[in-house]
Structure 1
Amino acid sequence: MIRGIVTFGFVGLLRPAPGTWGSLAAVLLALALHEAGGTALLPLALAVVVALGFWAVPQAIAGSPDKDPGEIVIDEVAGQWLALCFTLLPLWWHGVSALAAWPGIVAPFVLFRLFDVWKPWLVGRADRRGDAAGVMLDDLWAGLFAGVVSVVLAGGYHAVLQPAMGL
């Protein structure tokens, strides 16, 4: 059961790049939830995944020399859902399909993967902890940064570029 949780239904066993597969699975589930009218449930799903991750990851890595195995992707799911909350919740609030506003899905995905791999500032600090909490925290920081940057990019587009292009 622990392995199924930390690999997010065994998605983490896909190769290559299990973190990207985990992020993609998270995006597809969030998109399906959004299109089904359940976007308001995304923060609840995020809270459940975060709680499960903080509970299951320590058990999954106990006694292992690798403190952040690639197959553990529940942290990517949590970080990706956090990033997506910044764009999907406003889209839902305004009754806009995420498919019609596809940059609201693509930008958080790409930015989350960038911050997760690059590990700037607090993302890297959390990763260097070398413990189970660090496994989860680095992706939550990456998700927060990706969400904020997504909003800034969307604001710049809608406030500056769109009017300048006469759209």
Structure 2
Amino acid sequence: MTLLARLIGTVCFVGYMKPAPGTWGSLVALPIGFVIYQVGGFWLFCAAIIVAFFKGWWATAQMTKGLENHDPSEIVVDEVVGQWIAIAPVFFAATRLDIDVTLLWPGWLAAFLLFRAFDIFKPWLVGWADRRDDALGVMLDDVIAGIFAAISVLILAAFFHLVIM
């Protein structure tokens, strides 16, 4: 395995932090995503998700080559991609409304907690992807968890803004 694969897969060694490396990976995704969003806006952030997915797929394949464990806990690039998908509706809303994205902090919190819940409990399609036992499955389970979390964030935002306010 190359150092580059390890750097990408562990997100610069964040994946070695204990306990709960997946949670650390999800946490580090937020400031990195924020910086990307601040530098280039929503569409650069979306491009970063796609690039990170493919680089993560490659790194995961390299790091798991020849191993029985298809999803070692130190690989957290999948959490970064999933967390970015989960937070994307918040960044989109900030862009659309032309407001400071930090004002939408409840969305940040919801995206983080919902993504972690879907990633940990692996309902339905998340579990299906995880059972693939390959590098693509490692990435896809978090992509699907991120999509579920993003949809949930949208539902919660709609409920809050349409029903409560």
For the aligned pair, the TM-score class normalised by the smaller chain equals over 0.9
Structure 1 range deviating more: 92-101 or 141-150: 92-101
Please, which of 104, 113, 116 is the counterpart of residue 113 of structure 1? 116
User: How far does the alpha carbon of each residue in 1:7-57 deviate from its partner, in whole angstroms, 9 at most, with x for none?
Assistant: 011111111111011101111112233345633311011011001012121
Q: Which structure 1 segments of 5+ residues have no match? A: 163-167
- Whether the 8 Å contact between 1:98 and 1:105 is mirrored in structure 2 is no
- Whether the 8 Å contact between 1:34 and 1:92 is mirrored in structure 2 is no
Partner of 1:136: 139
Give the total of aligned pairs.
162
Structure 1 range deviating more: 88-97 or 69-78: 88-97
CA distance in 2, matches of 1:60, 1:95: 41
- Whether the 8 Å contact between 2:90 and 2:104 is mirrored in structure 1 is no
Does 2:79 match 1:76? yes
Structure 1 range deviating more: 107-116 or 7-16: 7-16
Partner of 1:42: 45
Letter in 2 for 1:102: W
Q: Which structure 2 segments of 5+ residues have no match? A: none
Does 2:7 match 1:4? yes
- Whether the 8 Å contact between 2:86 and 2:150 is mirrored in structure 1 is yes
Letter in 2 for 1:41: L
User: How far does the alpha carbon of each residue in 1:120-167 deviate from its partner, in whole angstroms, 9 at most, with x for none?
Assistant: 0000011111111110010000000000000000000000011xxxxx
Tell me the percent identity.
46
Q: Note the 1:1-167 alignment, pairs <5 A.
A: 1-36=4-39, 38-162=41-165
Judging by fraction of residues, say which structure has more helix: 2
Structure 1 segments of 4+ aligned residues over 4 angstroms from their partners = none
- Whether the 8 Å contact between 1:82 and 1:144 is mirrored in structure 2 is yes
Letter in 1 for 2:60: V
CA distance in 2, matches of 1:139, 1:34: 21
Structure 1 range deviating more: 114-123 or 56-65: 56-65
TM-score, structure 2 normalization: 0.93
Letter in 1 for 2:71: D
